Amino acid sequence: MAAGARHTCALDDEGRTYCWGFNGEGQLGLAPGADVGFQPGRLPTEPRFVSLAAGSSYTCGLTGPGEVFCWGTAPRGIAVAPERIGPERIFTSVESRFGHLCGITADRRVACLGRGEAGQLGNGAHGEDASSSVPVPVEGLTDVRQLALGVTFSCALGGPEGPWCWGAHDAGALGLGGLDPGPCEAMATGFTCVPVPAAVDIEPTLSHLVAGYYHVCGLTGDGGLLCWGDQEERQLGEVESPDRCVWAPPSNAERACSRIPRTVDTRGNHFVSLRAGGFHTCGLTDSGEAFCWGSNVFGQLGLVPGGSSLGPSAVEGGLRWRDLALGQVHTCGITVEGGAYCWGDGSWRQLGSGDEQASRPVQVLPPVE
């Protein structure tokens, strides 16, 4: 399952893709703007996939042989039907967030494509001409096992140290502390950036990593949490001594943040996996319970809408979950029985149920018989 800003897609057990929500850019696999109704619709073309990744207004799928196909306003342009990305490369996993896509190749290196103005492609380029419609290799990374992408930055687990992050340091998203003005500072956008991977100083070693729009959280081997980046909506959880970060121009807004990784109070929960949305974060325990924190304006935490939650709060409904997918202001999940549910904002039909808003999980697809 994967969630974009205003759409959601999921795979059935046979690798067929079902999508629902906003289709203004063709991200559901239909002609842009086509009326898709409220219910999930099956992608009208092959191939079949083993995993999905969603950007703001596009969707990508990975096949069993390692081919990547994208549709919508994909990193290389608009494609209604799935279009193969980087035909000369074989990938083992792919991740996306806003306007760029990165994948782990068969030799456990990383290649990225899409927007690159803030150095988020990791090849040393930045500025107006740094975007790429074909995958470019990320400098210096080997033995990579996982990727996590934000709006204008990327992170990876693996290599001799790490984790590694690169791109814009807005709200401390790279976890590198108080950086001196980087090479992007001269741009009109005013980013402070690192256009090649830089090691984030973390102890202990992380086993899992996720990124929201401007924040990152990692899972330690004992089920603990470390997070950094934007904290304005409490998406990092309960952390000590948050910093204040000035946003890049033209905003120049000051926001709560953490420029370095900080330990998060899990409230006694032992997490085995994490997911991050625009400004909220969720974790699954070994018993399949879902806990979320951060922005809850639309009920995307599975709680009564309003404000934000500083620490992990149980998603209402008592369901047990296999996986979660977090969008900008909505959340979806697949239960251990195989049913698909969504909650949060539904104003763009991204809940797949016809509800404008839901603070509890609403069933979208029944369990597979």
Domain ranges, residue 287: 266-369
Looking at residue 184, its pLDDT comes to 66
In tens, the pLDDT along 257-301 reads 999 999 999 999 999 999 999 999 999 999 999 999 999 999 999
210 with 335, same domain: the answer is: no
According to DSSP, residue 181 is labeled P
104 with 29, same domain: the answer is: yes
195 with 54, same domain: the answer is: yes
Looking at residue 21, its pLDDT comes to 96
Q: Give the residues of the chain that fall short of pLDDT 50.
A: 186, 188
Q: Among residues 261, 281, 298, which one ends one of the domains?
A: 261
Looking at residue 9, its pLDDT comes to 96
Q: Which residue type is seen at 204?
A: P
48 with 137, same domain: the answer is: yes
Q: Among residues 261, 290, 309, which one ends one of the domains?
A: 261
Q: Which residue matches tokens 């090649």?
A: 196
239 with 346, same domain: the answer is: no
244 with 296, same domain: the answer is: no
CA distance linking residue 54 with residue 337, whole number of Å: 24
Closest CA to 70 of 149, 152, 133: 133
Into how many domains does the chain fold? 2
| Cα distances (angstroms) measured from residue 325 to each of 22, 70, 121, 363 | 16, 18, 23, 14
Token code pair at residue 48 = 């079949």
Looking at residue 257, its pLDDT comes to 94
CATH of the domain at 101: 2.130.10.30
248 with 279, same domain: the answer is: no
CA distance linking residue 247 with residue 256, whole number of Å: 10
pTM score = 0.95
176 with 292, same domain: the answer is: no
144 with 8, same domain: the answer is: yes
86 with 226, same domain: the answer is: yes
- Other residues' Cβ atoms within 10 Å of the Cβ of residue 142: 11
Our separate counts of H helices and E strands in the chain read: 0, 29
252 with 275, same domain: the answer is: no
Q: Among residues 209, 239, 261, which one ends one of the domains?
A: 261
In tens, the pLDDT along 282-293 reads 999 999 999 999
Token code pair at residue 362 = 């609403």
